[in-house]
Structure 1
Amino acid sequence: MTDENAASDTAPLDAEETARRLDASDPLAAYRARFVGVDSPTPSVAAYFDGNSLGRPTLASVERIQRFLVEAWGGRLIRGWDEEWMDLPFTIGDALGRAALGAAPGQTFIADSTTVVLYKLARAAVDSLPERSEIVLDTDNFPTDRYLLDGIARERGLRLVWIEADSEAGVTPEQVAAAVGPRTALVVLSHVAYRSGYLADAAAITRIAHDAGALVLWDLCHSAGSVPVELDAWDVDLAAGCTYKYLNGGPGSPAFGYVNARLANRLAQPIQGWMGVRDVFLMGPEYEPADGVRRFLSGTPPVVGMLAMQDTIAMIEEAGIAAVREKSVRLTEFAVALADEWLAPLGVSLASPRDPERRGGHVTLNHPAMREVTARLWERDVIPDYRDPGGLRVGLSPFSTSFEEVRVGMAAVRDVLGELTHD
């Protein structure tokens, strides 16, 4: 481990003492108490390793939602649309852009599911470059990204150019440079790989795509709220991501989209709905898209689904995304050190980058028995998730995960795997 309080790489790891020291020196430790269930005398889980799939709810969000039901919805009724709700996709979007995405106001919106937002942005991008005929993507991207791009390619008569990605690493700038060319319309990649946690060099890849005359769409599902993102500084064209992972928006909370200001009035999004028009209540006979990012809305904003993410966005702004990333690195470094000490002798391999500079907020550990290990861990209230082939993912949320929780969870992985391999 790189942390000065951690055990050395050569000495046996005193896990309990290391966890105590890391928790005692953690500047984000106090945030843990802001989450539901973590300080309960009888917590519902012993260790939660799935914050990269579904984050814990905050206590503030419980209060916010209850207050909304009684005061805003119950009290203001339909007046709420004029008073606040109509602007929520943009006020929350701007807050998210400021706190976690490096995006100036007027470029980020909250709407729809990640799949729908990705579809809108990808279709708008390729339609804006009709003289180009190729979409570049990678073989290990999340299934939704691959499926919808395949559909768009068939709809628009385009060709998919596949980058063969290493499932234990990720897409490199060199691979992108070899794949793009004068026919490339769009490059679609994940900033943090969902399987391995590989952190792509977004700035370099964006420059390479632009040098080829292409647009870039980044999937930020495993980045937002965990890894610093600088969309404006990197000159990113488009981005999308979910809000139920590190942003703690809740199951199925709506996604976010980012459209660079230089493109907002040039792109025509394909799902034309009443919320994206110049005058929403004119109810005119023809679709006239609004100026700016509003044109990327389609239907009625999912107001209730937007509420919870606001409290985590506020925490990120309060603590600073740099501090969040520092805690994330320490958490994953501790998990890797425990895996080396306890799990490698049982045949487990690290399926994530060992260099923390190239790793996002989760670690994947490979072993043929990991599917069964995951099932048994859930029965013991230790909650990781599983991804083929043989990968147990350890997703660690900087605000809500303690180092002691990591120790407890990794010890459980060791014990269950030991039981299975010695049966």
Structure 2
Amino acid sequence: MNAETTANASSVPRSNAGALDRADPLASLTSRFVESPEVTSYLDGNSLGRPLRVTSPRLTHFIEQDWGSRLIRSWDEEWFERPLTLGDRLGALVLGAGEGQTVIADSTTVMLYKLIRAAVGARPTRTEIVLDDDNFPTDRFLVEGIARECGLTIRWISVDRDSGVTRDHVAAVVSERTALVLLSHVSYRSAFLADMQAITEEVHSAGALVLWDLCHSAGVVPTELDHWGVDLAVGCTYKYLNGGPGSPAFGYVAKRLQHQLEQPIWGWMGAQDVFGMREEFEPAHGMRRFISGTPPVLAMMPMCDMLDLIEEAGLPAIRNKSIALTEFVISLAEELLVPEGASIATPRSAAERGSHVMIRHERFRDVIGAAWVEGIIPDFRNPDGLRIGLSPLSTSFEEVSVGMHRIREILATL
């Protein structure tokens, strides 16, 4: 997506959606994804990405060859190292992370628990965890449980739910008591894009560690974890990384910290001598120490195809199209939904916005049910938010236009 197309996306009417698609250098890639005849407009790619067509034969080959023919020999040949080698590839293509710092392991919740506990354990004289009161429920619930478990205090940042956490917010609460700051790079509700580099610097000025939740940015917003000095990060792989429902999460730990951190879920796959069957646990060196049990090898396979496609398209081009799509949605929302009483709860500045748009209206709960029946699939967030999630590689402007116009028609009937 060139700069001119991106800049003009917010001012085009419905009839120009096709023109935007023709000008989109990534347009041909939408055909790489499996399409459902039951779905007219898929606007929830930030909750669950579409599968790629090439994934089906990959899984068949895996079942027939890697698993069916090689059987247990595949552990020695490839599977044992897969969480680390795939983690390195994801880190290089998506995270701005050098090798030996990213691992594919458990669910997002489990990975967050491991790294939160490891971080507060590495700052034993500090007593506070900082996070915002609009962070995703899993993040908040985990911190509340860990605080109770470890006798820590939570210092909440109160934020406007139509925006998000800024450096000033963080500067006002961090202190010599802060062990860890946990924030989301992109707000799951408003799509506010936090200034990761500036906030990380602020946290470090207080001597604390920072853990970034990348669930709504990994694969669509370029990050430079190494360059920005990030300590820890966790993200899911079933949104913009199209790993499929329940695909395993990734964890990033800066190399400078790995020897200092002890994660709490000890398992045989995280031991220094995995097959030594030792009497006592000795954590492995490097990122293997953050693995616990047997890794979900089969569930990692779909993500391999998406990483190939991200490498082909290039993350900067993906980000450009993401900006163009969200600007297009905002322009359509202003034209179609605001006159019906809706409001846009996402930053207008592209520099402060991820790849979804939140629109509010008191009747959107009713709209979502009717829309889904018709194959128009946006998302709903309590109490009144319609979330338009835009996965750039699988989403066309025409698809967005069709969905937004039908949402307006349904809303008007209510």
Q: Settle same-fold status: TM greater than 0.5.
A: yes
Which residue in the other structure is 2:297 paired with? 303
Name the SS of the counterpart of 1:187 in structure 2. strand
Distance 1:44 1:33 in 2: 16
Query: What is the correspondence of 1:54-133 to structure 2 with a 5 Å cutoff?
Result: 54-133=48-127
Name the SS of the counterpart of 1:59 in structure 2. coil
Which residue in the other structure is 1:26 paired with? 24
Name the SS of the counterpart of 2:80 in structure 1. helix
Name the SS of the counterpart of 2:181 in structure 1. strand
Determine if contact 1:272/1:298 at 8 Å carries over to the other structure: yes
Shift of 1:61: 1.1
Determine if contact 1:5/1:21 at 8 Å carries over to the other structure: no
Which residue in the other structure is 1:377 paired with? 371
The one-character-per-residue Cα deviations of 1:197-231 (angstroms, maximum 9, x if unpaired) are 00000000000000000000000000001111110
Matched, 1:389 2:383: yes
With over 3 angstroms needed to count, the CA separation of the structure-2 counterparts of 1:70 and 1:410, relative to structure 1, is same
Determine if contact 1:94/1:107 at 8 Å carries over to the other structure: yes
Which residue in the other structure is 1:408 paired with? 402
Query: What is the correspondence of 1:3-402 to structure 2 with a 5 Å cutoff?
Result: 4-5=4-5, 13-16=12-15, 18-37=16-35, 43-402=37-396
CA RMSD of aligned residues (A): 1.5
Which structure 1 segments of 5+ residues have no match?
none
Which structure 2 segments of 5+ residues have no match?
none
With over 3 angstroms needed to count, the CA separation of the structure-2 counterparts of 1:34 and 1:90, relative to structure 1, is same
Identity %: 59
Name the SS of the counterpart of 1:365 in structure 2. strand
TM-score scaled by length of structure 1: 0.96
Shift of 1:60: 1.3
Distance 1:124 1:26 in 2: 44
Distance 1:104 1:4 in 2: 33
Determine if contact 1:169/1:196 at 8 Å carries over to the other structure: yes
TM-score scaled by length of structure 2: 0.98
Structure 1 window deviating more from structure 2 (225-234 vs 29-38): it is: 29-38
Determine if contact 1:196/1:352 at 8 Å carries over to the other structure: yes
Name the SS of the counterpart of 2:258 in structure 1. coil
Distance 1:231 1:63 in 2: 34
Name the SS of the counterpart of 2:182 in structure 1. strand
Shift of 1:62: 1.2
Distance 1:14 1:403 in 2: 11
Determine if contact 2:41/2:403 at 8 Å carries over to the other structure: yes
AA in 1 matched with 2:23: S
Shift of 1:389: 2.3
